[in-house]
């Protein structure tokens, strides 16, 4: 099974609402990243949080990391229709190469206008 598993698999909200996506992983990590993928496009890096950090902000994005629970959450505040995309968490572990990212299966977010 994949290192990162996102929850929920799909999320549909109204424009202006907040969207929260969760990611759980199995082994110790060096860092965790969130990526966005619009339909038919490549992945876009959103934010990286290191294992010694607990929270990070970037614009309307807020990421938390709880290493004791091996979980992370991505919060998008005041969502817009343009936020509609798939969101993936990716982990970099302590074993093997730190450059090897293991991606979760993604959360499909739909923001309704």
Interface residues toward another protein, by CB under 8 A? 2, 30-31, 33, 35, 41-45, 48, 88, 92, 96-106
How remote is the C-alpha of 66 from its chain's centroid? 13
What's the min distance (Å) between Cβ of 8 and another protein? 16
Q: Shortest approach of another protein to residue 32 CB, angstroms?
A: 11
* CA distances (Å), origin 79, targets 43, 76, 82, 97, 112: 19, 6, 8, 35, 9
Of 78 and 98, nearer to another protein (C-beta) is: 98
The nearest distance, CB 27 to another protein, in angstroms, is 16
């Amino acid at each position: 099974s994949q290192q990162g598993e996102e929850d929920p698999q799909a999320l549909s909200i109204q424009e202006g609402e907040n969207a929260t996506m969760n990611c759980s992983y199995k082994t110790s990590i060096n860092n965790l990243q969130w990526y966005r993928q619009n339909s038919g496009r490549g992945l876009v890096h959103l934010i990286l949080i290191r294992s010694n950090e607990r929270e990070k902000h970037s614009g309307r994005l807020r990421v938390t990391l709880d290493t004791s629970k091996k979980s992370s959450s991505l919060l998008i505040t005041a969502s817009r229709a343009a936020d509609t995309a798939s969101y993936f968490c990716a982990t970099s572990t302590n074993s093997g190469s730190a450059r090897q990212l293991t991606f979760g299966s993604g959360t499909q977010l739909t923001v309704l206008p």
